[in-house]
Amino acid sequence: YMESICKNHFLQLLYRKIDGATLLSRNERNLNCVVTFQTHSILQRFMLRFDMLQLDCNDHLYVYDGAHAVGTHKADLTCKDTKQSVGALFTKTNFLTFKYVTDNWGTETNGFKMVITSVKDSKLNCADFRCKVPDFCIHQDLMCDGVSHCADGSDEAVGSLCPGPDRYINTIFGIDLTWVILIGVSSLIVCGCIIGITICVYVRNARNTPNQLNSSIQLNQMIESNGSSKHLQGTLPRETTTIPASGNLHHPAGPLGN
């Protein structure tokens, strides 16, 4: 907005290098503001046009083809001028200066919307976007930004270069809605697979737990049984058998008995 760009600070005295800009004025009062823009290359110049122009008769917008608001102005725009009557203004230098003077009275409808574009002759090694009418080049960053920087609007052509007018509706955080849906479905499938694998592992472990418990119980019983047997073997007396010597104990062998 002009109210912010015309604040009295040191940046107001600096040349602003731009590829393109849109300036808005909305019933600013008591302004006496001078702003200068410069292209990035001396091979470029500025094109100036208006999307809306409705000034009060006591307000003036002076346009200068140069780095200072001195000498003969290129245009003096006031209430008699409209965007149709002004059309497009081109500078011969790579500087554009305008002086905006307003009084203390106005209505909410007073103001303008100015589109400034740095352009280059297409014959001078045009490596950026080339407008069709007139035949000049603009920076590629100005394409598909919602502002027509070419006089014929070719930098905002629908279909061939830019998405349709609903491009902001069919996007989420700058990502096409189709990709958002695909990413969402893929994420759900991956999450479902992870949950399914987790459930299968849990069920398998749950089935193996009783078998392991039974095996542990049986093993403990076997250990206890073996321990009891060893205890009994250690405490019970062993029976001994004495093998008699040769002969009969009641009738010993010898010369007295037969």
**Cα separation of 144 and 168, whole Å?**
12
Do 48 and 155 belong to one domain?
yes
192 and 115 part of one domain: no
- Would 30 be classed as within a structural domain? yes
Residues 33, 106 within the same domain:
yes
Q: Which residues span the domain enclosing 121?
A: 9-162
* Per-residue pLDDT tens digits for 32-76: 989 999 999 999 999 999 999 999 999 999 999 999 998 899 999
Tell me the C-alpha distance between 20 and 131, whole Å: 14
Residues 155 and 43 in one domain: yes
Q: Are residues 98 and 192 in the same domain?
A: no
Q: Which two tokens stand for residue 49?
A: 């046009």
Measuring CA to CA, how many Å separate 112 from each of 4, 66, 75? 15, 22, 15
pLDDT at 258: 47
The answer to the question of residue 230 being in a domain is: no
What pLDDT, on the 0 to 100 scale, is given for residue 170? 60
Tell me: do 66 and 153 sit in the same domain. yes
Q: Which residue has the tokens 């410069």?
A: 38
* Closest-CA residue to 118 (of 102, 98, 140, 99): 140
Confidence (pLDDT) at 23: 92
For residue 64, being part of any structural domain is answered with yes
Residues 90 and 112 in one domain: yes
State whether 72 and 157 are in the same domain: yes
Domain count for the chain, please give it. 2
Q: What are the residue ranges in the chain where pLDDT is below 50?
A: 230-232, 235-236, 238-241, 243, 249, 257-258
> What are the tens digits of pLDDT across the range 209-235?
666 556 666 666 666 666 555 444 554
Q: Is residue 218 part of a domain?
A: no
Q: What is the CATH number of the domain that holds 24?
A: 2.60.120.290
pLDDT at residue 108, rounded to an integer: 87
Same structural domain for residues 23 and 106? yes
| Element spanning 193, H or E | helix 177-235
Residues 95, 187, single domain; the answer is no
The 3-state secondary structure of 215-248, one letter per residue: HHHHHHHHHHHHHHHHHHHHHCCCCCCCCCCCCC
pLDDT for 210 equals: 61
**Is residue 235 included in any domain, yes or no?**
no
Rounded Cα distance, 130 and 136, in Å: 6
Q: How far is residue 105's CA from residue 56's CA, in Å, rounded to a whole number?
A: 9
Q: Is the dihedral of CA 185, 190, 194, 200 positive or negative?
A: positive
Whether residue 67 is found in the same domain as residue 182: no
Q: Which residues of 127-157 are buried (b: 16+ CB within 10 A; e: fewer)?
A: eebebeeeebbbbeebbbeebbbbbeebbbe
Same domain, 17 and 79: yes
Name the residue among 30, 72, 73, 78 with its Cα closest to residue 58: 78
Question: Quick check: is 255 in a domain?
Answer: no
Distance CA 95, CA 48 (A): 12
In a domain, 115, yes or no: yes
Please indicate, yes or no, if residue 210 is contained in any of the structural domains: no
